[in-house]
Structure 1
C-alpha cells in the first residue's frame, strides 16, 4: 500500500500545472535562445529554428501553432532546420533532455518495483 501512495505522489508531483506551455523565446540571435521565455497559448508548441549561411549560425525560438511544425524549409545556399516539441523549455537545444519534473515519477516507480 505504501508503494502505491509513493507512486501516486510521484505522478502528481511530475504533472505540469495548467495547459500553458513555457518555451524559450528570441526573434533572431547568433547564440542559443536560452534566456528569455514565453508562455504559449493553448494548443501551441515550442519551436526552434536554426539556420546557417556563410558560416554564421542564427537561431529563433518561441511558440508556434501545430500546423507550422510541418514547415520544411528549402532555401538554396542556406542550411535551415525547424523543429517543434511539446514540453516546457524543450526548445533549448537539439539534445534530448530528461525533464526534472519526470524525475520524481521515475524514482517512485523504481521504489515501487525494487523496494
Structure 2
C-alpha cells in the first residue's frame, strides 16, 4: 500500500515538473530580422526565462545578429561587450517568463510588410 502511494506521488511530481517547463522560440542565428533555423524548445528547470538576444559588431554598426531561446536569469537585461577575433561585439538580452513570449517582434513584421509592399509597387 505504501509503495503504491509512493509511486503515485512520484508520477504526480514528474507530471508537475513537465507541466512547469517553459517553451520558448528558438533561433540559433538570425540576420536582417529572419531566423535561419527557427523552432521551439522546452527549457530545463534551471532556465526559467525565454530570451531575445542581439549582437552588434561595433566596427560595422549596422550588422546585427539575433538569437532566441532559454536563458539563465543572471544574463537577463544585461549588455555585454566582448571581442571576437579582434572585432568588438556588443550583446544584449531581453527576457520574459511565459510560453513562446520571445516570438517575432512587431519590427520584424513591419519589415516583412514593407518589403512585400515594395515588391508589389515594383510589379514583381
Query: TM-score w.r.t. structure 1 length?
Result: 0.54
How many residues matched?
79
Q: Deviations over 1:67-105 (max 9, x none)?
A: 23253313585453211110111112455xxxxxxxxxx
Asked if structure 2 preserves the Cα contact closer than 8 Å seen for 1:32 and 1:93, the reply is no
Alignment of 1:33-112 (within 5 A): 33=35, 35-44=38-47, 45-53=49-57, 54=60, 55-69=62-76, 71-75=78-82, 78-94=89-105
2:56 and 2:64 in contact (8 A); partners too: yes
| Residue 61 (structure 1) shift | 1.1
In structure 2, the gaps of 5 or more residues are 1-17, 107-124
Over alpha carbons, which structure has the higher Rg? 2
Q: Please, what TM-score do these two structures have when normalized by structure 2?
A: 0.51
Q: Secondary structure at the match of 1:67?
A: helix
Whole-angstrom CA distance in 2 between matches of 1:28 and 1:35: 9
**Greater relative CO, 1 or 2 (CA 8 Å, sep 6+):** 1
**Which position in structure 2 is the counterpart of 1:111?**
none
Other-structure match for 2:5:
none
Q: Which has the higher helix share?
A: 2
State the partner residue of 2:115.
Answer: none
Q: Deviations over 1:6-41 (max 9, x none)?
A: xxxxxxxxxxx8101110112222134493010011
| Cα root mean square deviation, aligned | 2.7
